Amino acid sequence: MSDSTSLSLAIGLQGAGRHPAAWRDPEARPDALFTARYWREAIVAAERAGADFVTLDDGFGVRPPLPHELSTSGRPVRTDLVNGRLDTVLVAARIAPLTTRIGLLPTVTVTHSEPFHTSKAIATLDYVSSGRAGVLLAVDDSPDNVRLFGRRDAETISDRSALHREAADYAEVLSRLWDSWEDDAEIRDASTGRFIDRDRVHHIDFDGEFFAVRGPSITPRPPQGRPPIAATASAGERSSREFLDGSADIGFFPNAEDRAASDTTAGDSDREGLRRYDDLVVYLDDTQQAASDRRACYDDWLGAEFDDVTQTFVGTATGLADLIEERNELGGRPSGIRLHPAAITHDLARIADDLAPELLRRSLVVDAASNPAGPQSLRDRQGLVRPANRYARAAVGGGVR
């Protein structure tokens, strides 16, 4: 996002697409869903569309739950939906060297993972991608998924306020671990035999409500200092908005009302401003009728109307450009739009081939590909400064012993 009048474009990717029945579309490639080539082609298409970054959906259920499902416990396994997932952190690391500009934000479920492991995984991704990594933090209140691990009480996992406080602790540990090595901690002086300056590697000594982590990290400070942390607000849920406003660099909102409520919740915080994105599921075709018919076909395959909690657009690329332009001109405009292709093979191609040129023509987005000397890191492209290391001010001699 390079100027105050343009919007940042992001793409949300999951499975065959946002609609659970998208894998049955004649253009879909269900035989390729678990291949590196499929994800490379999808992410390269998003880069061609001018997206600043992609988010990669992940979780611990064998498939994303349908909107009406609080739990899959006791339900028969639906063999007519995509079952199975790849680890999106590993997918991002595999695809990073094959892309040049686009940011990569895999999903990490904080409820069932450890911040130390995540910190080094995302730091590694930041090195592999030359400063284009981020992480999308998510919480999980599914009793079924709790039972996969056996470490938590499945009966109390429904306290989402506590889950979001845990996520805030998790995000704080991530940022501290990324800071635990100062930027110049590595000396690499073969003549003296010193590889690091141990006074510039620090314990973080974090002791919070949910985690107690001493540190330091085993991975040097990432190229971006701290890769951006993102999260998605749940519709009407104050605790998720408070987590975004207090801990995230990038926030995704299912509707304009929740985004506006987040603005109110943030108050006068002196933290660098949250980049707020509107979420939008898209079905794009040559005509409104064709898009509506395709959506109806997917719903017929699903056996019910797919009532996505996120706003949905059904129509043409020109109509979607009109909607984006309208949002850009309103007061309280978002920082950007995250588009979720209903079917990746169909709708992502429409975004790249039809929508992106129209957005450029209207000067709603910046043509970053035409300016190779422009911002390169994900933080730079989001207008986020590289943060100072909180431990660099520590007294000399205060490092790891």
pLDDT interval class at 258 (50, 70, 90): confident
How remote is the C-alpha of 119 from its chain's centroid? 15
Mean pLDDT of 69-80: 63
The whole-angstrom separation of Cα 25 and Cα 370 is: 34
**The predicted structure's pLDDT at residue 236:** 82
CA angle, residues 342, 344, 348, in degrees to nearest 5: 95
How remote is the C-alpha of 168 from its chain's centroid? 16
pLDDT interval class at 1 (50, 70, 90): very low
**What pairs with residue 231 in β-bridges?**
137, 251
pLDDT in tens, 30-63: 999 999 999 999 999 999 999 999 999 999 877 7
**The predicted structure's pLDDT at residue 366:** 84
**The predicted structure's pLDDT at residue 358:** 97
Instruction: For residue 11, give the nearest of 291, 345, 310, 337 by alpha carbon.
Output: 337
Give yes or no for residue 394 having a pLDDT over 70. no
Give yes or no for residue 96 having a pLDDT over 90. yes
Give yes or no for residue 70 having a pLDDT over 60. no
Evaluate whether 392 touches 242 at the Cβ level (below 8 Å). no
Domains of the chain: 8-382 (3.20.20.30)
Q: Give residue 288's identity as a one-letter amino acid code.
A: Q
Q: What is the 3-class SS of the chain, one letter each residue?
A: CCCCCCCEEEEEECCCCCCCCHHHCCCCCHHHCCCHHHHHHHHHHHHHCCCCEEEECCCCCCCCCCCCCCCCCCCCCCCCCCCCCCCHHHHHHHHHHHCCCCEEEEEEEHHHCCHHHHHHHHHHHHHHCCCCECEEEECCCCHHHHCCCCCCCCCCCCCHHHHHHHHHHHHHHHHHHHHCECCCCEEEECCCCEEECHHHECCCCEECCCCEECCCCCCCCCCCCCCCEEEECCCCCHHHHHHHHHHCCEEEECCHHHHHHHHHHHCCCCCCCCEEEEEEEEEECCCHHHHHHHHHHHHHHHCCCCCCCCCEEEECHHHHHHHHHHHHHCCCCCCEEEEEECCHHHHHHHHHHHHHHHHHHCCCCCCHHHCCCCCCCHHHHCCCCCCCCCCCCCCCCCCCC
Evaluate whether 108 touches 58 at the Cβ level (below 8 Å). yes
Give yes or no for residue 368 having a pLDDT over 50. yes
pLDDT interval class at 270 (50, 70, 90): very low
The whole-angstrom separation of Cα 342 and Cα 349 is: 11
The whole-angstrom separation of Cα 201 and Cα 212 is: 18
Token pair, residue 311, equals 């706003």
pLDDT interval class at 324 (50, 70, 90): very high
Burial class for 171, CB neighbours closer than 10 Å (0-12, 13-18, 19+): buried
Instruction: Quickly tell me which residue has 């499945």 as its tokens.
Output: 154
Mean pLDDT of 9-15: 97
What's the mean per-residue pLDDT of the chain? 90
Q: Is 225 left (phi over 0), alpha (psi -120 to 50) or beta?
A: left
Instruction: For residue 211, give the nearest of 141, 120, 123, 115 by alpha carbon.
Output: 115
Evaluate whether 146 touches 157 at the Cβ level (below 8 Å). yes
The whole-angstrom separation of Cα 338 and Cα 60 is: 23
Instruction: Quickly tell me which residue has 């479920």 as its tokens.
Output: 109
**The predicted structure's pLDDT at residue 305:** 94
Give yes or no for residue 267 having a pLDDT over 60. no
Give yes or no for residue 357 having a pLDDT over 70. yes
